[in-house]
Chains A and B, each alone.
Chain A
Amino acid sequence: MSEAILTVAGLTKHFTVVKGFPRPVKTVVKAVDGVDFTVAAGEAFGLVGESGCGKSTVARAAMRLIEPDGGSVHFAGQDVRAARPRALIALRRRMQIVFQDPYSSLNPRRTIGRTLMEPLEVHGMARGAEARSQAAALMEEVGLPPAALDRYPHEFSGGQRQRIGIARALALQPELIVADEPVSALDVSVQAQVLLLLKELQRRRGLAFVFVSHDLSVIRWFCARVAVMYLGRIVEQGPVAEVFSRPRHPYTVMLRDASPIPDPSRRGVLPRVVGEIPSAAAPPPGCHFHPRCNRATDICRTEYPRFRTEAGHGVACHHPHDAA
């Protein structure tokens, strides 16, 4: 593994909700509760989990688009959480984000050209005709005609808008891209095209990715390593092939079995998914997963399992499935 570009340790983000009248009740939602992971330069790292497990919050907190409450984030050796505004702007230039919803991620009143040129001008990287030619080059890089620079977002389809969002993220020549469910709002056929584009960009530009998705097949195809999140914590982490072919955490097993591989020779009985994801405001005591787990014993109900790593494959479980 090459040098780490993003190191996240003990990251926490709690949201406080005050509700009720006349006596307000304060609830603390531990959206992210002690998350550790490392992304190497040029590596695609996946974050997977059900909706509400905090994966998008992790992605945003790592960029300080949401201010984290605890833990540390280092980007290329620099402390992101301690960065002063000017330094933070310089850091953000090197890590960009691609959003899930291609409809709200572009300003409806600005042409594509202005959207792509603005970051270049704000950062003093290019102006006027130079900025425009760079914007045109970005459009070509994401597979759109440069002539479309003078058009408005509503003239494009979802897939095209997502390409524009990617072009905007690339404008500042970042080293890391946080992709927050970048294809889940798109049609399946368009998903494949956008994923291919991201893969191509990763190869050509040597980009590292933090790829957030709930879709295992997308993560399996795109990422080298993956972390599985459940209620604000990482429950299993390791190389994608390892994690999905020999999952050790019962939750990962459940996720994998819920996302079958379309192959008639691997026909099997679909397991029943037990229960709903509990509320992050009131997680179950002990291991958060125990109410849905078929291997749960008494210890799981009282004590959160420690995260143990063997040969790059880590799991937080009292009764993990056997390693290979």
Chain B
Amino acid sequence: MNPFLKRMASNPTTSVGVVLCIAIVLAAVLAPYISPFDPLDQHIIDKLKPPSSTYWLGTDTYGRDVLSRVLWGARISLVVSVASISGALLVGGAIGMVSCYIGGRADLYIMQVMDVLLSFPSLILGLIVVALLGPEMINLIFAIGLTAVAPFARIARAPVLSMKERAFVEAGRALGFSHIRVLFVHILPNILSEVLVMATLWMATAVRTEASLSFIGLGVKPPIATWGGMMRDGFDAILDAPWLSVFPGIAILLLVLGLNMVGDGLRDATDPKLAG
């Protein structure tokens, strides 16, 4: 087996994280086939039913099946977090790499702009953007992506700083390679693992931000099922029908936990100091 995968698998925490993430991805992909009911179907007669053999996780105030809604809600969480972090990774990563490679004053100014962005708490920044653009999924992705651009610029910059002092980069220049080639063909593969590790950890943050925005009503619009929105809906009845908020809350917890476990495991496995 690949020594990298071996190191990953040898860490039980990482394995748990991988299993959690795979389970949630499967739930999201297979939601149309495995959910017992349509997430939007209202069984008015069975409204606010506690968990039972028919409705495993109970029903909400409109009589919608909570289990089905949790399964479908996974799709929103995953799509929003994957799309926003991919965008932030591409844009922020490119900004950080190019800025650092150019160096000098340009680097100083670009990174200062990034520091300004970084100083906004991600929830506040997301709130401003969604409030301005309206609560559509695409705006949500844009808003959460924007909050992660500056961190990725910082994360990508650090390893480039050390890479560009390596003699093989100078050798590339001496051999007549273009800056683009040196940066993207030679430096990029050497920093990719570090950046991807951070992307996993930031996915967890994106999931939380999406849930928080949905919770305060700035997420994907109802009646579409989102975990944050379900928690908010159930919040008013938390004492009478705790299952409404608790189960989507557990779903968020498991996904964030799983992503963090995988991220930590990846980080440890790529750390050359731990390579045995």
Contact = CB atoms under 8 A, between A and B. Distances in A.
Q: Do A and B bind each other?
A: yes
Interface residues of A, number: 27
A118 to B, nearest CB: 8
B109 to A, nearest CB: 16
B173 A107 contact: no
B167 A104 contact: yes
A109 B184 CA distance: 13
B175 A104 contact: no
Interface of B: 166-168, 170-171, 173-177, 181, 186, 189-190
A104 B174 CA distance: 15
Contact of B176 (A108, A119, A168): A119
A18 interface: no
Contacts of A118: 175, 177
A110 B171 CA distance: 14
A324 interface: no
B173 to A, nearest CB: 6
A50 to B, nearest CB: 22
Contacts of A110: 186
B174 A65 contact: yes
A269 interface: no
Contacts of B173: 65, 92
A138 B173 CA distance: 20
A96 B173 CA distance: 10
B168 A104 contact: yes
A97 B176 contact: no
Pairs of residues from A and B, 3 with the lowest C-beta to C-beta distance, nearest first: A105-B167, A89-B176, A99-B167
Nearest to A98: B171
Interface of B is mostly: helix
Interface of A: 60, 63, 65, 89-90, 92-93, 96-97, 99-101, 104-110, 118-119, 122-123, 165, 168, 171-172
Given A104-B166, A122-B177, A109 B190 contact: yes
A106 B170 CA distance: 10
B163 to A, nearest CB: 10
A123 B175 CA distance: 9
A322 B182 CA distance: 52
A108 B193 CA distance: 14
A62 to B, nearest CB: 11
Given A99-B167, A104-B168, A118-B177, 8 more contacts: A60-B170, A92-B176, A105-B171, A108-B190, A118-B175, A122-B176, A122-B181, A165-B171
Nearest to A120: B175
Nearest to B177: A122
B175 A92 contact: yes
Contact of A97 (B170, B181, B190): B170
A96 B176 CA distance: 10
A63 B189 CA distance: 27
A65 B170 contact: yes
B175 A122 contact: yes
A168 B177 contact: no
Contacts of A107: 168, 186, 190
24 contacts: A63-B174, A65-B170, A65-B173, A89-B176, A90-B176, A97-B170, A97-B171, A97-B174, A99-B170, A104-B166, A105-B168, A106-B168, A107-B190, A109-B189, A109-B190, A110-B186, A118-B177, A119-B176, A122-B175, A122-B176, A122-B177, A122-B181, A123-B176, A172-B176
